[in-house]
C-alpha cells in the first residue's frame, strides 16, 4: 500500500538539488521523466498537494476541480509541450493495489494509459514502492490502480532492480460498436468501429481518407482523426456498463487496415484529447484493437501481434490471454508488453510575478 514513507524514500532517492529563487509559498514540483516507445511520462514524486477523495475516481474529479493548475503547469509550455503526458501517484482504496495513479494530458485526465503503466512498473520497483522479489525471481508484480480499474504489471528484474521489458494485464476490453456508420464532415459517411481498452477509441483505416498511416504528414493524419472523433461524439452515445466516469470517447486511432492476423507488425497512430499525438503504438489502444480483432474472429487467444507506431516506429506486443465479461459485453483480458526508459529528473518552480506560471499552449 502507498504511504508517506514511500514518498519520502522517493525524495531521498532523487537527491534534489538546490533550487533557484522562487515563490516560497509554492512547493517545487519534483518529477522523474520516462518514455515508452517515444511517448513521454512525467511522474510527480514531490510537491503535489493531497488529492482528496474516498475513491480513485473521486480523486480524479477533485484534481480536475481544485488542482488543475498543476496539470497545466506540468504539461503545458514552458515546462512541457502540447503532447506531454503525466502521472500523479495517489493512495488507492483497493487493498491489492500497490499504488494509485491519475493520468494527465493536454486536455485533462485519462481513464487508462498503457505506456504509462509500462513505465510505472519499472519506476515502482526501482523507487521502492513495491518490495523487491525474492532472490532469483525474474519478475516483480506491481498492481496499479488506474481510473479504469486494477491493472497488473509484471516487471523483468535482476537483483531487485528493473531490467528489460514490462508487460501488463488489462481490465476487461471489449468491442462497443462495429461497422458504425458516421457522417464525417468533409468526408461523407464512413464506417468506424469503437472499442474499449481502459478508454474508448474509434478505429478507422487511414486508407478511407486516401492517406497512408506510415507516410502521410502527421498534420493530415491528425486532421482526419480529429474529424472522426468529433463526428462520433456528436452522433453516438458512449456508455460504459459499469461507470459513467468512463463513458467518453478518448480519441481516434487510424490504422493501416491490416487487422487480419499476421506475423508482420501492423501500424497505427493515435490522436487523443486535444489533438494530442501518441508517439508509441498506444498501450490502451493496442488493448482495444486486440479486443476488436478478437471480437471479429481475426485473432485467437494467446496469438501475439506486433503493433508499430507510425510516428516513431516503436513497437508494442499484445495478445488476448483469456475471455472475461464487462457488464453484458463479452470481453478479453489483454497482455501488452514493451520497454520503458528513464530520461531524467527535474524540479519545477514558480516565481510569483511570472504571468505565464501556469503554462500556455500554442495551436
Specify whether 210 is located in the same domain as 135.
no
Specify whether 242 is located in the same domain as 301.
yes
Specify whether 316 is located in the same domain as 209.
yes
Specify whether 165 is located in the same domain as 188.
no
> In tens digits, what is the pLDDT along the chain, a chain of 363 residues?
656 666 666 655 555 568 888 999 999 999 999 999 999 999 999 999 999 999 999 999 999 999 999 999 999 999 999 999 999 999 999 999 999 999 999 999 999 999 999 999 999 999 999 998 888 889 999 999 999 999 999 999 998 899 989 999 999 999 999 999 999 999 999 999 999 999 999 999 999 999 999 999 999 999 999 999 999 999 999 999 999 999 999 999 999 999 999 999 999 999 999 999 999 999 999 999 999 999 999 999 999 999 999 999 999 999 999 999 999 999 999 999 999 999 999 999 999 999 999 999 998
Measure the CA–CA gap between 209 and 204, rounded to whole angstroms.
Answer: 9
Specify whether 265 is located in the same domain as 231.
yes
Instruction: Please check whether residue 343 lies inside any domain of the structure.
Output: no
Specify whether 160 is located in the same domain as 194.
no
Strand pairing category for 266-272 and 305-309:
parallel
Specify whether 162 is located in the same domain as 39.
yes
Cβ neighbours of 330 (radius 10 Å): 14
User: CA of 124: how far to CAs of 34, 43, 223, 243, 360, in Å?
Assistant: 13, 11, 37, 28, 31
Instruction: Please check whether residue 1 lies inside any domain of the structure.
Output: no
State the pLDDT at residue 17. Answer: 65
**Burial 278-298, CB ≥16 within 10 A → b, else e:** bbbbbbbbbbbbbbbbbbeee
Cell numbers of 5, please? 514513507
Instruction: Please check whether residue 24 lies inside any domain of the structure.
Output: no
Instruction: Please check whether residue 256 lies inside any domain of the structure.
Output: yes
CATH number of domain containing 123:
3.10.310.10
Measure the CA–CA gap between 301 and 55, rounded to whole angstroms.
Answer: 33
Measure the CA–CA gap between 94 and 78, rounded to whole angstroms.
Answer: 36
Q: In the Cβ-directed half-sphere of 283, how many Cα atoms lie within 13 Å?
A: 32
Instruction: Please check whether residue 349 lies inside any domain of the structure.
Output: no
Instruction: Please check whether residue 230 lies inside any domain of the structure.
Output: yes
User: CA of 89: how far to CAs of 60, 147, 206, in Å?
Assistant: 11, 12, 36
Cα 257 to its chain centre, rounded Å, is 23
Specify whether 154 is located in the same domain as 199.
no
Cell 459499469 belongs to 242
Strand pairing category for 305-309 and 139-146:
unpaired
Number of structural domains the chain divides into: 2
Contact between 185 and 231 under an 8 Å Cβ cutoff? The reply is yes
| Distance between start and end Cα atoms, the chain | 41
Specify whether 329 is located in the same domain as 180.
yes
Question: What pTM did the predictor assign?
Answer: 0.94
Which residue among 115, 136, 170 closes a domain? 170
Closest C-alpha among 197, 198, 215 to residue 206 = 215
Q: Of all helices (H) and strands (E), which one includes residue 202?
A: strand 200-205
State the pLDDT at residue 18. Answer: 83
State the pLDDT at residue 5. Answer: 64
Which residue among 150, 170, 190 closes a domain? 170
- Using DSSP, state whether 11 is helix, strand or coil: helix
Specify whether 135 is located in the same domain as 200.
no
Catalytic residues, by residue number, are 113
Measure the CA–CA gap between 189 and 182, rounded to whole angstroms.
Answer: 5
Amino acid at each position: 500500500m502507498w504511504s508517506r514513507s514511500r514518498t519520502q524514500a522517493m525524495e531521498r532517492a532523487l537527491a534534489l538539488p538546490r533550487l533557484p529563487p522562487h515563490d516560497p509559498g509554492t512547493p517545487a514540483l519534483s518529477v522523474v521523466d520516462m518514455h515508452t516507445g517515444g511517448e513521454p511520462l512525467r511522474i510527480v514524486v514531490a510537491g503535489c498537494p493531497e488529492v482528496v477523495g474516498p475513491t480513485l475516481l473521486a480523486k480524479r474529479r477533485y484534481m480536475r476541480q481544485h488542482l488543475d493548475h498543476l496539470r497545466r503547469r506540468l504539461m503545458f509550455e514552458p515546462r512541457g509541450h502540447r503532447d506531454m503526458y503525466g502521472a500523479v501517484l495517489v493512495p488507492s482504496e483497493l487493498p491489492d493495489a500497490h499504488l494509485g495513479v491519475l493520468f494527465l494530458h493536454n486536455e485533462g485526465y485519462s481513464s487508462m494509459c498503457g505506456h504509462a503503466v509500462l513505465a510505472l512498473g519499472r519506476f515502482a520497483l526501482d523507487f521502492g514502492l513495491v518490495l523487491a522479489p525474492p532472490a532469483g525471481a525474474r519478475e516483480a508484480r506491481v498492481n496499479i490502480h488506474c481510473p479504469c480499474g486494477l491493472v497488473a504489471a509484471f516487471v523483468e528484474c535482476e537483483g531487485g532492480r528493473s531490467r528489460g521489458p514490462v508487460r501488463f494485464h488489462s481490465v476487461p476490453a471489449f468491442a462497443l460498436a462495429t461497422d458504425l456508420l458516421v457522417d464525417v464532415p468533409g468526408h461523407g459517411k464512413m464506417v468506424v468501429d469503437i472499442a474499449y481498452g481502459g478508454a474508448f477509441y474509434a478505429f478507422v483505416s487511414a486508407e478511407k481518407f486516401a492517406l497512408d498511416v506510415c507516410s502521410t504528414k502527421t498534420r493530415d493524419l491528425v486532421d482526419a482523426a480529429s474529424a472522426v472523433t468529433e463526428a462520433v461524439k456528436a452522433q453516438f452515445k458512449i456508455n460504459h456498463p459499469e461507470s459513467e466516469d468512463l463513458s467518453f470517447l478518448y480519441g481516434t486511432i487510424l490504422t493501416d487496415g491490416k487487422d487480419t492476423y499476421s506475423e508482420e507488425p501492423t501500424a497505427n497512430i493515435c490522436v487523443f484529447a486535444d489533438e494530442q499525438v501518441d508517439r508509441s503504438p498506444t498501450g490502451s489502444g493496442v488493448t482495444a484493437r486486440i479486443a476488436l480483432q478478437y471480437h471479429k474472429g481475426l485473432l485467437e487467444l494467446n496469438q501475439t501481434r506486433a503493433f508499430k507506431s507510425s510516428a516513431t516506429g516503436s513497437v508494442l506486443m499484445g495478445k488476448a490471454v483469456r475471455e472475461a465479461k464487462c457488464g453484458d459485453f463479452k470481453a478479453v483480458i489483454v497482455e501488452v508488453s514493451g520497454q520503458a526508459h528513464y530520461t531524467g529528473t527535474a524540479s519545477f518552480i514558480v516565481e510569483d510575478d511570472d504571468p505565464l506560471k501556469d503554462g500556455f499552449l500554442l495551436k
